[in-house]
């Protein structure tokens, strides 16, 4: 099939671009090599909406970060996803005071509102668990937190609800220029044609760019390891706590999440393998040490899981966003990529219209609003009873740790983009994200997925190809 626009990569940046362009009377398709959206850096990052003080003055990162942080409250409200303006502190010891002052000045030049430097007494009053040896901090009141994969899922879902197609398990193997566009072939031999190609392939954006003849840059993965603490630790800090940044990134942060956990990380290790998401003893030791420099008495015994994400670090030091021959390339979209995502989508929209001669009309029935998930556990008892009367499945708890119901899981299976595996259910509902990490609910989730998709339970996977959970029955049907 031929589309007017094809987006390669269904991370949060690709998803936000798709959502923005789905308003037009043009055909649009998103290609994703994995079994679900939000499977790269989007599912494994710090979940921070950065204020924009750290990016180099005059850079595309600075411009799009500040703009993105302004757009994010509206975008999250329209998409029905969680957003919390919890502020951030960049903390320092006395010998690092000059660095805090430099960051403050850079933030002012970048146009970040409300920045100020706080001294030791106020710092302790704001965050009682802060390391008492810290003497000052930059307070960024516009910093916030979101759930990155929830945002991506909602953006792609909204694009699909407005007519966009999504093709999963479509790993691009070749892109060929044709008389009126491009022929895109998958590793399986499937073909999609496009008038305009948008390359938003994360750590693989250089590989995709090379297929279009536009690659004078490199993208390498930078491994970032994280730890997640139990929800009983979620209020250990109110704000996101950073230390003064280095050339490798913003350092080890301590931050609450919108879902109530405490997040520690990331490390920063440059690696070669673009698929290496392993965690390491060395990474954990770094998190223990550096997080404790910022916050005292962190209850590390409450860690319930750990994970690793890969940042797409470009060789230019800035976001690469450019076009040639109806191909738009986005590369090196590392931090603050999540924060910038709404602004990047806006930037691409303007690039298409102002630089590429793109002409289109907004659909009469375009709807930017996405119905939020129920978040059943957070509803009032009256509202819960009302929903259960309409659908008893919302009265059956599947995930005891997070209080997730069968109704919520079924809803996730049948809502764009549809969850087809166990991890997809986890990202949409949080079933399996609590203390037991799916030890109780995973078998039930497998059964629900099999039932709703009309398949045998042996066909249900954890995350798609190569992740079979059950190979065969060991007992009879009875």
CATH topology of domain 2-42+149-218+316-355: FAD/NAD(P)-binding domain (3.50.50)
- Please say whether the beta carbons of 50 and 145 come within 8 A: no
Question: In sequence order, what are the residues at sequence separation of 6 or more whose Cβ sits closer than 8 angstroms to the Cβ of residue 128?
Answer: none
For domain 376-459, give the fold.
Answer: Arc Repressor Mutant, subunit A (1.10.10)
Q: Where are the alpha helices (DSSP H) in 212-319?
A: 281-294
Q: What would the pLDDT profile of 381-427 be if each residue is shown by its tens digit?
A: 999 999 999 999 999 999 999 999 999 999 999 999 999 999 999 99
Beta strand extents in 349-455 (DSSP E only): 397-399, 404-405
Q: Rounded to 5 degrees, what angle do the CA atoms 22, 339, 232 make?
A: 115
Find out if CATH 3.30.9.10 is the number for domain 84-146+220-314: yes
Q: How far apart are the first and last CA of the chain?
A: 47
φ/ψ region of 449 (left if φ > 0, alpha if ψ in -120 to 50, else beta) reads alpha
Q: Specify the 3-state DSSP secondary structure of 70.
A: helix
**Which residue in this structure is represented by tokens 């409450």?**
302
Residue written as token pair 């990331």: 266
pTM above 0.95, yes or no: yes
Give the chain's length: 478
Residue among 173, 205, 181, 199 nearest 3 (CA):
181
The answer to whether residue 50 is catalytic is yes
For residue 280, what are its two tokens?
A: 């390491």
Residue 207: predicted pLDDT: 97
Measure the CA–CA gap between 225 and 290, rounded to whole angstroms: 13
Please check whether the two domains, 84-146+220-314 and 376-459, share a CATH topology: no
Q: At 27, give phi and psi (nearest 5°).
A: -80, 140
Provide Rg for the chain, Cα atoms: 22
Residue 477: the pLDDT is 65
Which of 193, 170, 142 is closest to 14 using CA atoms?
170
Task: Count the Cβ atoms, other than its own, within 10 Å of residue 362.
Answer: 9
Going residue by residue through the chain, which has 478 residues, state the pLDDT in tens, using 9 for 90 and above. 999 999 999 999 999 999 999 999 999 999 999 999 999 999 999 999 999 999 999 999 999 999 999 999 999 999 999 999 999 999 999 999 999 999 999 999 999 999 999 999 999 999 999 999 999 999 999 999 999 999 999 999 999 999 999 999 999 999 999 999 999 999 999 999 999 999 999 999 999 999 999 889 999 999 999 999 999 999 999 999 999 987 766 789 999 999 999 999 999 999 999 999 999 999 999 999 999 999 999 999 999 999 999 999 999 999 999 999 999 999 999 999 999 999 999 999 999 999 999 999 999 999 999 988 768 888 999 999 999 999 999 999 999 999 999 999 999 999 999 999 999 999 999 999 999 999 999 999 999 999 999 999 999 999 999 999 999 888 766 5
Domain locations in the chain? 2-42+149-218+316-355, 84-146+220-314, 376-459
């Amino acid at each position: 099939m031929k589309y007017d626009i094809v987006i390669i990569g269904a991370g949060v940046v690709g998803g936000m671009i798709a959502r923005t362009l789905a308003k037009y009377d043009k055909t649009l398709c998103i290609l994703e090599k994995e079994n679900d959206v939000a499977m790269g850096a989007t599912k494994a990052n710090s979940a921070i909406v950065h204020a924009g003080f750290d990016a180099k003055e005059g850079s595309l990162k600075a411009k799009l970060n500040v703009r993105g942080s302004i757009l994010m409250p509206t975008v999250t409200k329209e998409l029905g996803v969680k957003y919390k303006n919890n502020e951030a502190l960049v903390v320092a010891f006395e010998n690092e005071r000059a660095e805090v002052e430099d960051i403050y000045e850079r933030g002012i030049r970048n146009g970040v509102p409300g920045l100020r430097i706080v001294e030791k007494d106020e710092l302790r009053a704001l965050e009682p668990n802060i390391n008492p040896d810290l003497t000052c901090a930059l307070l960024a009141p516009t910093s916030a937190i979101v759930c990155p994969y929830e945002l991506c899922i909602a953006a792609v879902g909204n694009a699909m609800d407005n007519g966009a197609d999504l093709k999963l398990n479509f790993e691009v193997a070749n892109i060929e220029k044709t008389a009126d566009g491009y022929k895109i072939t998958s590793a399986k031999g499937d073909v999609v044609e496009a008038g305009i190609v948008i390359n938003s392939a994360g750590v693989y954006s250089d590989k995709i760019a090379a297929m279009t003849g536009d690659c004078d840059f490199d993208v390498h993965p930078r491994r970032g390891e994280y730890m997640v603490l139990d929800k009983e630790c979620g209020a250990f800090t109110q704000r996101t706590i950073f230390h003064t940044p280095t050339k490798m990134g913003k350092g080890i942060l301590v931050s609450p999440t919108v879902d109530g956990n405490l997040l520690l990380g990331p490390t920063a290790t440059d690696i070669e393998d673009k698929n290496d998401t392993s965690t390491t003893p060395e990474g954990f030791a770094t998190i223990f040490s550096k997080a404790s420099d910022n916050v005292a008495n962190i209850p590390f015994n409450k860690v319930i899981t750990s994970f690793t994400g890969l940042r797409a670090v470009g060789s230019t030091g800035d976001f690469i966003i450019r076009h040639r021959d109806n191909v738009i390339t986005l590369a090196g979209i590392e931090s603050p990529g999540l924060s910038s995502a709404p602004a990047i989508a806006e930037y691409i929209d303007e690039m298409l219209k102002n630089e590429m001669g793109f002409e289109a009309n907004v659909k009469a029935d375009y709807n930017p609003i996405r119905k939020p998930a129920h978040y059943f556990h957070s509803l009032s008892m009256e509202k819960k009873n009302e929903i259960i009367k309409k659908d008893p499945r919302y009265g059956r708890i599947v995930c005891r740790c997070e209080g997730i119901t069968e109704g919520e899981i079924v809803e996730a299976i049948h809502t764009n983009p549809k969850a087809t595996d166990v991890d997809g259910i986890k990202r949409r509902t949080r079933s399996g994200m609590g203390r037991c990490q799916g030890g109780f609910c995973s078998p039930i989730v497998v059964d629900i997925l099999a039932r709703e998709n009309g398949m045998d339970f042996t066909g249900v996977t954890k995350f798609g190809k190569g992740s079979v959970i059950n190979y065969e029955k060991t007992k009879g049907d009875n």
